[in-house]
Amino acid sequence: MARILVADDEAGLREFMADALALDDHQVTVASDGREALRLCNERSFEVVVTDLKMPHVDGLTVLRTLR
């Protein structure tokens, strides 16, 4: 089981990915944009981050660079 953050501004895709990962017994947290993803990463740790590249406020590449 992994702690996974799914960040995507498209609700349908975000929820689909979260549901699919949860079926494999992963602990999934979702973020609706890059700003929320960074806030969540400051509050807790994740083993995997899945992010959309184009999102409002903070894009996915900025999220990954900041976390790296």
pTM: 0.93
Instruction: Give the pLDDT score at 31.
Output: 98
How far lies 52's CA from each of 1, 8, 25, in Å?
22, 5, 22
Instruction: Give the pLDDT score at 33.
Output: 96
Instruction: Give the pLDDT score at 10.
Output: 97
60 within 8 A of 38, measured Cβ to Cβ: no
Tell me what the mean pLDDT of segment 22-42 comes to.
97
What is the layout of strands, in order, in the sheet containing 3-7? 27-31, 3-7, 48-51
pLDDT in tens, 37-65: 999 999 999 999 999 999 988 999 999 99
Mean pLDDT of the chain: 96
Instruction: Give the pLDDT score at 15.
Output: 97
